[in-house]
Amino acid sequence: MDHKQVAADVVKAVGKDNMVAAAHCATRLRLVLKDESKVDQKALDANDGVKGTFSTNGQFQIIIGPGDVNNVYDYLIKETGLKEVSTDDLKQIAAKNQKFNPVMAFIKLLSDIFVPIIPALVAGGLLMALNNVFTSKFGSESIIQMYPALKGISSMISVMSAAPYTFLPILVGVSAAKRFGANQYLGAFVGMMMTITATNPDAIKGIAYWNLFGLHVSYAAYTSQVIPALAAVWLLSVFEKWFHKHLPSAVDFTFTPLLSVLLTGFLTFIIVGPVMRELSNWLTDGIVWVYNTLGFVGTGIFGAVYSPIVLTGLHQSFPAIETQLVSAFANGKGSGDFIFVVASMANVAQGAATTAVYFLTKDSKMKGLSSSSAVSALLGITEPAIFGVNLKLRFPFFCALVGSCVASTLAGLFHVIAASMGSAGFIGFISIYPKSIPFYLICELISFAIAFIITYLYGKSHMQLVDGDVVAGADDNAATVAAAEETTTTAPSAGADVVTIASPVSGQVEDLSQVNDEVFSQKMMGDGAAVVPSDGTIYAPADGTLSVAYATKHAYGITADNGAEILIHAGIDTVNLEGQHMESFVEQGQTVKKGDKLGTIDLEAVKAAGYDTTVMVILTNTANYQTVSRDADGEVTHGDDLFTAAK
């Protein structure tokens, strides 16, 4: 990489006079800008030295990569004349320049907490939907009435499907504790407290409250509740951090968990739980009121804007609302989950538009991308279709909105609702209330047909040809056409055809998608895995040479002898600690063997400082490999195989 040229390109794209301050971490440039709208995003996207960009918390971050970012940063500082600042200083500068948006902050918070637990909710929802098939009447009898031998299977599935919703506070407790920087097991503890009250012997006898010196405190269970659990775990995190900071180390281990849980429990049952439960009920009732008031007009508008909402990430907050709708419907209240229905119409429409692109294009690469992303969208995951195909060509995205709007309007008119959560696509019919399934399928087909036909016809009459292939709309400028002509090739590095990377730490393995950092969760730096460490010692995952060993001691880069380029990133945003609570035993350029000790991180101290300690292990030259597959799940010990990459 020509570091000087990349720095010059970044300065030109961002604007020298537009830059307020700059810092860098192990992988990216972090800039505070006067006006992010002035950034030439196309120029950055077209730059081979830039792996991606995103904006968060007032910082415009440009991903360069380990080993290169510090050199690019040095040239950027020389060219702009900006004063070098630490990432912590930059954070403070960004906070001063940034206008705080509490709504967006809350939505991002919900997203961070709910994304990791969505698989459990979807699995439970699909099991619930399967049980609906067994128990709902088709004609005069249900399946289990016609075939009594299936009653036991239906009953067992019913128990399994209820688990994630009945004990939802426990799932929320674990995920929220991680997000708030509290102990995840204490978060689960709080969730258990909120769901176990129904089994209290006094409750079984019909006594509905505790008598605390004359104060009657209800111990009604908080099963299926989201907002009360969020508030309780946040309270736990506040207490835990305070006690970690103020209690002597000799008693911290014992008394911090005890006091944190005790205070959280009393405040939750006396004040926080009742207030938050009432707020949660108001929210759910309000959304149902809007649905009942606007009817099919409301669902049509929602269908037209759902995919644009996906672009912002705001859709990640919907599961918090849907769980309340599903739980209420299961108890014979409310109108069911109409959000799921609209999401399905929007997803199918985007998939249909991408399918039309498949038939329009002749380029093998675009055909492969459009076919795979179309299937993904039709099954409920639209990001590959939206970002990889439809937005690049622009018009397919907007054609899909028409199909989604019409189909969602009809779904509202037919009162199609979901009885459980599931996969929002064609197979989502098993989550639909049985009587609505025929109308649901009809609306899905209408959504697909309209989006496909409009996209195909518009593409045929308005698209330009480049080297005989359809690539862009006639109204696009020359720069878009030129970008379509560009091809990028990556030369494979020397090394084995199959490489296996070991875990550098002991702990709980996670998928990268669960990591609370866009660069890693969206695999902008490459594929790999994450480990929530149970021990703070970091070991070399392979034989090789240390290409990166930062003074901040939070990240290491290894060029392995087998050709793999590995980044080990200890914690999220721990660069801000500037080496505090961490030790490093190696230097850049040093040769290491698998299992050599690289450094340590004081997990409790870093958590107490408010940072996530998850360790990311990234194969930064992922492009040189055809597949990357994780070898470990659950608990892993350092040195165990973590993932394998094959060319």
Distance CA(636)–CA(537), nearest Å, equals 14
| Total length of the chain | 647
- Segment 150-165 mean pLDDT: 85
| 522, burial (CB in 10 Å: exposed 0-12, middle 13-18, buried 19+) | middle
- Percent of all residues in the chain with a pLDDT value above 70, rounded to a whole number: 80
Task: For the chain, give the mean pLDDT.
Answer: 79
Using the predicted structure, report yes or no on whether residue 428 has a pLDDT greater than 50. Answer: yes
Q: How far apart are the first and last CA of the chain?
A: 23
314 and 389 Cβ atoms separated by less than 8 Å: no
Distance CA(185)–CA(161), nearest Å, equals 23
Residue ranges, comma separated, of all CATH 2.70.70.10 domains in the chain are: 498-646
CATH of domain 498-646: 2.70.70.10
Using the predicted structure, report yes or no on whether residue 56 has a pLDDT greater than 80. Answer: no
- Segment 188-213 mean pLDDT: 73
Distance CA(22)–CA(64), nearest Å, equals 14
- DSSP reduced 3-state for 593: coil
Distances (CA, A) of 260 to 189, 236, 272, 516: 11, 6, 15, 24
- The backbone torsions φ and ψ at residue 326, rounded to the nearest 5 degrees and listed phi first, read -65, -45
What dihedral angle (degrees, nearest 10) is formed by the CA atoms of 624, 629, 633, 636?
Answer: -40
pLDDT for 209 equals: 73
Using the predicted structure, report yes or no on whether residue 199 has a pLDDT greater than 70. Answer: no
- DSSP reduced 3-state for 466: strand
Of 14-28, 282-296, 324-338, highest mean pLDDT: 14-28
- The backbone torsions φ and ψ at residue 463, rounded to the nearest 5 degrees and listed phi first, read -100, 145
Distance CA(545)–CA(345), nearest Å, equals 51
Q: Are strands 544-549 and 565-570 parallel, antiparallel or unpaired?
A: unpaired
Count of other CB atoms within 10 angstroms of residue 472: 20
pLDDT for 467 equals: 34
- Active-site annotation, residues: 25
Using the predicted structure, report yes or no on whether residue 123 has a pLDDT greater than 70. Answer: yes
pLDDT for 1 equals: 75
Q: HSE (CB half, 13 Å, CA atoms) of 10? A: 34
Q: What is the pTM of this model?
A: 0.53
Question: What is the fold of 3-98?
Answer: Gyrase A; domain 2 (3.30.1360)
pLDDT for 239 equals: 92
Q: HSE (CB half, 13 Å, CA atoms) of 125? A: 32
pLDDT for 377 equals: 79
Q: Does residue 593 or residue 309 have the better pLDDT? A: 593
pLDDT for 465 equals: 39
Q: How confident is the model at residue 445 (pLDDT cuts 50, 70, 90)?
A: very high
pLDDT for 405 equals: 93
Q: Does residue 552 or residue 537 have the better pLDDT? A: 537
Q: What angle do CA 521, 94, 312 make, to 5 degrees?
A: 40
- Segment 178-200 mean pLDDT: 83
What DSSP string runs through 203-233?
A: HHHT--EEEETTEEEE----TT-SHHHHHHH
pLDDT for 59 equals: 79
- Segment 374-385 mean pLDDT: 75
Of 167-171, 275-279, 409-413, highest mean pLDDT: 409-413
Bridge partner list, 600: 537, 583
Bridge partner list, 23: 30
Residue ranges, comma separated, of all CATH 3.30.1360.60 domains in the chain are: 3-98
- Segment 480-487 mean pLDDT: 36
